[in-house]
Chain A
Amino acid sequence: SQELEQSPQSLIVQEGKNLTINCTSSKTLYGLYWYKQKYGEGLIFLMMLQKGGEEKSHEKITAKLDEKKQQSSLHITASQPSHAGIYLCGADGKGYNQGGKLIFGQGTELSVKP
């Protein structure tokens, strides 16, 4: 079973629209990471969240970790074609008795229509 669930699995939005991607864990998150991937390329690190209620922003992307540390959201404001790609969340494996490793969600594929 998937330990980290991402929703939606895919998303098509019109350029300029806002969107949100969610990442839900069945266990407490000790560290939550967001990555972006262009098809056929490596993962680019976006942000890391560790504290309950923490929120970080970079340009038009904001990531939040809820107070219970079991869910994170990634919000993109005024989407652009450059935001298109696959977004993956990863969690510190410590919460799953797998220290020293990251556990990943299945990814959310974002398409932005001009």
Chain B
Amino acid sequence: DGGITQSPKYLFRKEGQNVTLSCEQNLNHDAMYWYRQDPGQGLRLIYYSQIVNDFQKGDIAEGYSVSREKKESFPLTVTSAQKNPTAFYLCASWDSHTDTQYFGPGTRLTVL
């Protein structure tokens, strides 16, 4: 089955630690995205990548980093510089044939 997978589903982190969220897709999509969702605020774009080995900052990139070494993978690292990292993180990819964005199941990150 084709789709987008995110792992883990739940993640707990101590303050001061970096943590990496995984996003994998087998849809052969070129573009991938990371969003953060907080209650009542909709989705905010963190980073996006339109092609392998290239990525751009979104609206709230501070305290986050990404890499795009393979088409299938777009991991997001939440660094200790991110002041309020507790949130729900969603990964997405873009189907250029249908001009539609599809989402993974999300990772809920909690900082203890």
Taking Cβ atoms with an 8 Å cutoff, the residues of A that contact B are 2, 9, 31, 33, 35, 40-45, 48, 88, 90, 92, 100-102, 104-107
Q: Which residues of B contact A31 (CB under 8 A)?
A: 99
Is there contact, CB below 8 Å, between A42 and B103?
yes
B68-112 to A contact mask, C-beta < 8 Å, 1/0: 000000000000000000001010100000111111111010000
Nearest CB in chain A: distance from B5 CB, A: 10
Q: Which residues of B contact A104 (CB under 8 A)?
A: 42-43
Q: Name the residue on A nearest B35 (C-beta).
A: A104
The majority secondary structure among interface residues of chain B is: strand
Give Cα A48–Cα B31 distance, bound, in whole angstroms. Answer: 18
Is there contact, CB below 8 Å, between A106 and B41?
yes
Q: Which residues of B contact A48 (CB under 8 A)?
A: 98-100
Q: Name the residue on A nearest B106 (C-beta).
A: A42
Q: Which residues of A contact B102 (CB under 8 A)?
A: 45
Is there contact, CB below 8 Å, between A9 and B40?
yes
Interface size on B, residues (CB 8 A): 25
Q: Name the residue on A nearest B33 (C-beta).
A: A101
Q: Which residues of A contact B42 (CB under 8 A)?
A: 2, 88, 104-107
Give Cα A22–Cα B49 distance, bound, in whole angstroms. Answer: 30
A-B interface contact total, Cβ < 8 Å: 50
What are 29 of the A-B contact pairs (CB < 8 Å)? Answer: A2-B42, A9-B40, A31-B99, A33-B101, A35-B103, A40-B88, A40-B106, A40-B108, A41-B105, A41-B106, A42-B6, A42-B104, A42-B106, A43-B92, A43-B103, A44-B103, A45-B100, A45-B101, A48-B98, A48-B99, A48-B100, A88-B42, A100-B48, A101-B48, A101-B58, A104-B43, A105-B42, A106-B41, A106-B42
Q: Name the residue on A nearest B40 (C-beta).
A: A106
Q: Which residues of B contact A35 (CB under 8 A)?
A: 103
Q: Is B45 an interface residue (CB 8 A)?
A: yes
Is there contact, CB below 8 Å, between B40 and A101?
no
Give Cα A90–Cα B108 distance, bound, in whole angstroms. Answer: 22
